[in-house]
Amino acid sequence: MKTIKLQVPMDQTIRDGLEKRAKSLGFDSAQAYIRFWAKAETDGRRVNLDEDNWGEPSDIAAKRINQLAEEAIKDHESGKLKSYTSSKKLLEDLNNEIS
């Protein structure tokens, strides 16, 4: 794949607004957001990032989700499921699991 640069002159306020919008959507930069948009346009796909409708899960996915939920309920009832009083404690535990 050959990579090229595309320079688009624009007003600073528009660029700043685009950066803010991109970050609010989970992109790390306006550039990443534009690359995503350009690829979707090239493929003929229309994406609506403001819509959070993934539809219904497949039967296999629903079965897996229900099984995981049942296991979590059983673990909670038996005292095996960890619980946290703050996000900081959760992140500390996750970091300890990784180390």
- Is pLDDT above 90 for 98? no
Taking the model in full, what pTM does it have? 0.52
Residue 82 pLDDT: 84
User: For the residues 22-48, what does the mean pLDDT come to?
Assistant: 93
Q: Which of 2, 8, 3 is nearest to 34 (CA)?
A: 8
